[in-house]
Structure formats: structure tokens, C-alpha cells
């Protein structure tokens, strides 16, 4: 009997993961991607001798990548050259006061004690608790498809959440360990990856702090796109048929079932679809109104993760004062967070982040040059105007110059900007979001848009807008979960 045919839409982390797991489970899998390269938000581009990663730059949770490739008999070491960064990153409070955050628990313990006498002991307790949270999450809770709240009606979970008071905010949780506001900031900032501030994110996500401090910050030599190259190779080895430059125009249904997918070039009949493009885009643009689970107004009530203004900069000479990762915390976070979440506006003096991969990897810039990627979080849905981009550009360049004590502006030999309207154009991203939906408590697990459509029988979703949430590791898990649910529904596992 012929294998059931599955079409996967979108070759980002989640689509590649779903396709590869399905192919391994015996399905005939076609993966359709609109761009001319795989990777989605993790694509890369070359210009003037520089190679820029377009999105992700922090490689955290190496265990999740290891687990992913192990499912196909591979080890990360055989696929790309992964290096641990030390220091993990730099936090700039002011020019005079940068913190280089060392790699490894022993060094970090000493660092905490050096900042505040007695903090090492609080650090030990914090690591011990967050280790437990991390291990429970990655071995269990994150791997639940969250199709129903009943998956979480679990006396052990309720007991643990209560015992550790996980329903309070990450900020309150961090303050219960540390009284130095900067140490609080150091342990809580990683939840910003989940698209909401530490004051709005549950302490459950302190697992991100554990990932940062205990598991470390890594970098694949050659750039983040090396991970995608490896995933493409593994997908093809498993038999996935990847078709680039194949933009899906509609998901074709008949009496509540998917029958195929229509691209600009052809109609592909299939037995099931995994939509791993942005959820809102698939529902609102690729499905007929009667097949959608959510109305536009319902999307309007969801809390989106921020968008971002990105600058890809090629610079002559080196830029001192920066590490591979440098976070500029030299302004008031609460003021910037208000501009992102409460009364959306272009910030006048934002916090921002700079990645300088050329500090580690000489292949991403021509000799004697620096490759910089600057990220400024912005509210999704802001009107996106060149004039505003330029104002922010002037602001961040001035502050990098100040922190590094050297000129920068007159040494920039390449500049490309990217923000809301680019995310909309390239990914159909709702409100130009960069990282999907925020992982607030009311948008966690079963409260997220589901992996399996409630309207169309054989339609599944994967990606950063569904469970478990934004980030490369969660997107990998999302693809695996969607593939697992589909395979069970179709009786293949």
C-alpha cells in the first residue's frame, strides 16, 4: 500500500522538524517553502563579503538540538562545529561598568559572590530549583501536545506549581532570591526570549535562566545557518522532498477535510497538511472563512511577542567594548517595556542587543572587518517608517560608540535595516511580529492556538505561534509534536 502523503508548509525549524519526523515515520513528505532557501526566520544572506544570520543568534539548550538529531541517528559534533562562548555575554550597565558573565556554574557562583556578599548561597538555591524546573519541562511538560487542559490536570504538576509558587511572576521569583536589582535583572532577562517581560511571565519560565547559566551559550562556527544546513541534509536523507520557491496560495478542503495544497505552480493532493508557516497567515490567508478557528478580532485580543528593528552592519576595523553577545541595559527597562506592551510607541531611548559573531568566527566578515547585528525590540503592529528607523539607528550607534570609546558611524561599509513591514512581507507575520505570541500565563500550553485544527480534520499546525512557543528549541519541539499527533491520528505510530 502507498504511504500516506503529507504536505508541510514552511521550511523553518518547525517545518523541517515536522517533515523529517514524518518521513522517518513512513509518510511520503513534501515540504513547500516560498523562499529560495530553507530556514525561515533563521535564513542568512551575504553582502559585500559579510555573511549575516538574519534572526537567531543565541544557541541555548544544546540538549534539545542533540535530542533532535539523535532521533535520526546523528550527533551535533558530526554535523557542525559547536563552540561554547566564554564569557557567555556582556551586560553593559554603563561604559564604566560592563559585566562579563563567565561560563560555567563555578565561575558564575564566584561572580555572584563578587557582586554581593552572600549571593553565592542564593545562587546555589536558585540553580538547584531551576534545574528541577528545567529537567521536568524538557523531559515532560514541554513535550505534551497541549491539545486539552486535561493533559495538565495532574496532581503532581499542581502540587509542584503550588510548592514552588510558580504562578507568581518571574520578577517576583527572582527577587525572592536576590536583593541586588542587577542580579535580579541578570537572572530574569532570559525570559525576554519568550516575548513578555519578567513581570508578566510565570516563574515556570525560570527554566530559561537555568538554560543560560548552567547549560551555556554556544555558537556553531560558520553561523547559525549551519544548523539549518544540517537539518536540511538530515531531512533529505530521510526522504523529504523539499521544494523551494513554492509559495502556497491556499489549503484546499472538501467537507471539512484537507484534500490538497495549491501553490503558484501546481496543486498537490495529499492526505494531511502540517502548516508550519505563521498560524495567523495560514488561517486568515490560506483557508476559506468557514475553515478558520479564529476570527480576526480574536487575533486582535492576543498578546503578540514584540517585533524588532534589526540592523545588519558591516564595519571596517574592529569594534572594541563588544563581546560576541552584548546587551545594552544602560537605560530603564520599564520605560522601554511600556513602549512595547502597554502603549505601543517607538521608544526614544531603547534597550538593545548587539551580536558580533566576527569576534568568534572570522568567516563571517572580510579580513579586518566586524560583522554586527543590532536588535531593538519594538511593539508588534507599530507603523513602520524609515524616519523612525533612522532615529533609532543614530541612537544605538552613538551608544555603541560611547561604550567602545571608538568611532563607528564613519566605519560602517554596509547597512541593511529590517523591521515590521519586512516580517510581514517575508513571513506574512501578523502585525509584523518577530517571535510569534508571547508566552504569558494565559497563552501557555492548552491556551495557545492548537497543534491540531478544530475545524479541518487532517490539518495540523507547528511553529512558534503554537505550543510550546517561540525560539529555536521550542520550534524544533513543536514540529516533533505536530508530527507525533498526526502520525497517531493516521494510525502510523
Ligand X SMILES: Cc1cc2nc3c(=O)[nH]c(=O)nc-3n(C[C@H](O)[C@H](O)[C@H](O)COP(=O)(O)OP(=O)(O)OC[C@H]3O[C@@H](n4cnc5c(N)ncnc54)[C@H](O)[C@@H]3O)c2cc1C
174 vs 192: CA distance, rounded Å: 14
Q: Which of 6, 7, 8, 11 binds ligand X (CB under 6 A)?
A: 11
CB under 8 Å to 441, separation ≥6 — which residues?
167, 201, 202
Site stretch for ligand X (CB under 6 A), options 128-136, 389-397, 443-451, 470-478: 470-478
CB of residue 310 to ligand X, shortest distance in Å: 6
Question: Does 89 engage in binding with ligand X (CB under 6 A)?
Answer: no
- What is the bridge-based pairing of β-strands 241-243 and 28-32? parallel
Report the site for ligand X in 287-326 (rule: CB under 6 A): 308, 310
In the complex with ligand X, the residue whose CB is nearer, 94 or 265, is 265
Question: Does 435 engage in binding with ligand X (CB under 6 A)?
Answer: yes
Which 3-state string (H, E, C) describes 35-92?
CCCCCHHHCEEEECCEEEECCCCCECCHHHHHHHHHCCCCCHHHHCCEEECCCCEEEE
Question: Does 247 engage in binding with ligand X (CB under 6 A)?
Answer: yes
From the centroid of its chain, how far is CA 399? 26
Site stretch for ligand X (CB under 6 A), options 37-45, 140-148, 175-183, 205-213: 37-45
Sign of CA dihedral 137, 206, 69, 243: positive
In angstroms, the Cα distances linking 234 to 18, 29, 39, 228 are 12, 13, 14, 10
Report the site for ligand X in 389-418 (rule: CB under 6 A): none
CB of residue 453 to ligand X, shortest distance in Å: 16
Question: Does 276 engage in binding with ligand X (CB under 6 A)?
Answer: yes
From the centroid of its chain, how far is CA 429? 14
Q: Are 251 and 287 in contact (CB under 8 A)?
A: yes
CB of residue 451 to ligand X, shortest distance in Å: 12
In the complex with ligand X, the residue whose CB is nearer, 13 or 352, is 13
Binding residues for ligand X, how many (CB under 6 A)? Answer: 36
Q: Which of 42, 204, 232, 477 binds ligand X (CB under 6 A)?
A: 42
Question: Does 56 engage in binding with ligand X (CB under 6 A)?
Answer: yes
288, three cell numbers: 476559506
Q: Which of 21, 24, 30, 41 binds ligand X (CB under 6 A)?
A: 41
Picking from 493, 436, 491, the residue whose alpha carbon sits closest to that of residue 467 is 436
In the complex with ligand X, the residue whose CB is nearer, 4 or 357, is 357
Query: b/e string for 443-467 if b means 16 or more Cβ within 10 A?
Result: bbbeebbbbbbeebebbbbbbbbbb
Q: Are 84 and 103 in contact (CB under 8 A)?
A: yes
Question: Does 428 engage in binding with ligand X (CB under 6 A)?
Answer: yes
Site pattern 375..394 for ligand X (x: CB under 6 A):
x-------------------
Question: Does 216 engage in binding with ligand X (CB under 6 A)?
Answer: no
CB of residue 157 to ligand X, shortest distance in Å: 25
In angstroms, the Cα distances linking 4 to 27, 272, 486 are 5, 8, 11
Question: Does 15 engage in binding with ligand X (CB under 6 A)?
Answer: yes
Question: Does 274 engage in binding with ligand X (CB under 6 A)?
Answer: no
Q: Which of 5, 28, 35, 262 binds ligand X (CB under 6 A)?
A: 35
CB of residue 218 to ligand X, shortest distance in Å: 11
Question: Does 471 engage in binding with ligand X (CB under 6 A)?
Answer: yes
Instruction: Go through the chain and tell me how many residues it has.
Output: 493
Picking from 97, 103, 122, 98, the residue whose alpha carbon sits closest to that of residue 112 is 122
Lookup result for grid cell 524609515: 386
Residue 378, beta-bridge partner list: 307
Q: Which of 27, 50, 58, 218 binds ligand X (CB under 6 A)?
A: 58
Q: Which of 30, 33, 141, 452 binds ligand X (CB under 6 A)?
A: 33
Question: Does 483 engage in binding with ligand X (CB under 6 A)?
Answer: no
Kindly list the residues in this chain that would bind ligand X in the complex (CB under 6 A).
9-15, 32-35, 40-42, 55-58, 247-248, 276-277, 281, 308, 310, 375, 427-428, 434-435, 463-464, 470-472, 475
Amino acid at each position: 500500500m502507498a504511504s500516506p502523503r503529507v504536505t508541510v508548509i514552511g521550511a523553518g525549524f518547525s517545518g523541517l522538524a515536522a517533515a523529517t519526523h514524518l518521513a522517518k515515520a513512513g509518510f511520503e513528505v513534501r515540504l513547500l517553502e516560498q523562499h529560495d532557501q530553507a530556514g525561515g526566520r533563521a535564513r542568512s544572506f551575504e553582502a559585500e563579503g559579510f555573511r549575516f544570520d538574519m534572526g537567531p543568534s543565541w544557541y541555548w539548550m544544546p540538549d534539545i538540538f542533540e535530542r533532535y538529531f539523535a532521533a535520526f541517528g546523528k550527533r551535533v559534533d558530526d554535523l557542525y562545529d559547536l563552540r561554547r562562548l566564554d564569557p557567555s555575554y556582556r551586560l553593559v550597565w554603563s561604559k564604566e561598568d560592563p559585566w562579563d558573565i563567565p561560563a560555567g556554574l563555578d565561575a558564575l557562583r564566584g561572580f555572584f559572590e563578587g557582586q554581593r556578599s552572600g549571593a553565592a548561597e542564593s545562587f546555589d538555591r536558585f540553580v538547584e530549583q531551576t534545574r528541577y524546573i528545567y529537567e521536568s519541562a524538557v523531559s515532560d511538560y514541554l513535550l505534551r501536545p497541549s491539545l486539552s487542559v486535561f493533559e495538565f490536570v495532574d496532581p503532581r504538576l499542581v502540587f509542584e506549581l503550588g510548592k514552588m509558587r510558580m504562578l507568581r511572576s518571574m520578577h517576583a521569583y527572582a527577587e525572592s532570591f536576590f536583593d541586588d536589582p542587577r542580579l535580579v535583572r541578570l537572572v530574569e532577562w532570559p525570559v525576554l526570549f519568550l516575548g513578555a517581560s519578567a513581570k508578566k511571565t510565570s516563574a515556570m519560565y525560570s527554566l530559561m535562566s537555568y538554560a543560560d547559566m548552567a547549560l551555556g551559550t554556544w555558537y556553531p562556527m560558520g553561523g547559525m545557518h549551519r544548523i539549518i544546513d544540517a537539518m536540511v541534509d538530515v531531512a533529505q536523507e530521510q526522504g523529504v522532498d523539499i521544494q523551494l520557491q513554492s509559495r502556497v496560495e491556499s489549503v484546499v478542503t472538501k467537507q471539512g477535510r484537507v484534500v490538497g495544497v495549491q501553490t503558484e505552480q501546481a496543486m498537490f493532493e495529499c492526505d494531511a497538511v502540517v502548516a508550519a508557516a505563521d498560524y495567523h497567515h495560514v488561517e486568515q490567508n490560506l483557508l476559506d472563512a468557514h475553515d478558520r478557528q479564529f476570527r480576526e478580532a480574536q487575533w486582535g485580543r492576543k498578546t503578540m511577542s514584540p517585533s524588532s528593528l534589526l540592523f545588519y552592519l558591516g564595519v571596517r576595523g574592529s569594534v572594541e567594548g563588544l563581546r560576541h553577545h552584548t546587551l545594552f541595559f544602560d537605560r530603564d527597562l520599564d520605560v522601554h517595556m511600556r513602549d512595547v506592551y502597554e502603549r505601543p510607541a517607538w521608544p526614544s531611548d531603547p534597550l538593545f542587543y548587539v551580536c558580533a559573531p566576527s569576534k568568534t568566527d572570522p568567516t563571517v566578515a572580510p579580513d579586518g572587518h566586524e560583522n554586527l547585528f543590532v536588535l531593538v525590540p519594538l511593539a508588534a503592529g507599530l507603523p513602520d517608517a524609515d524616519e523612525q528607523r533612522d532615529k533609532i539607528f543614530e541612537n544605538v550607534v552613538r551608544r555603541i560608540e560611547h561604550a567602545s570609546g571608538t568611532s563607528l558611524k564613519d566605519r560602517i561599509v554596509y547597512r541593511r535595516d529590517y523591521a515590521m513591514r519586512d516580517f510581514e512581507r517575508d513571513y506574512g507575520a501578523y502585525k509584523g511580529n518577530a517571535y510569534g505570541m508571547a508566552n504569558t500565563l494565559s497563552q501557555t500550553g492548552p491556551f495557545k492556538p492548537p497543534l491540531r485544527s478544530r475545524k479541518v480534520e487532517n490539518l495540523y499546525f507547528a511553529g512558534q505561534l503554537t505550543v510550546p512557543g517561540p525560539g529555536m528549541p521550542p520550534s524544533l519541539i513543536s514540529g516533533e509534536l505536530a508530527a507525533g499527533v498526526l502520525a497517531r491520528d493516521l494510525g502510523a505510530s
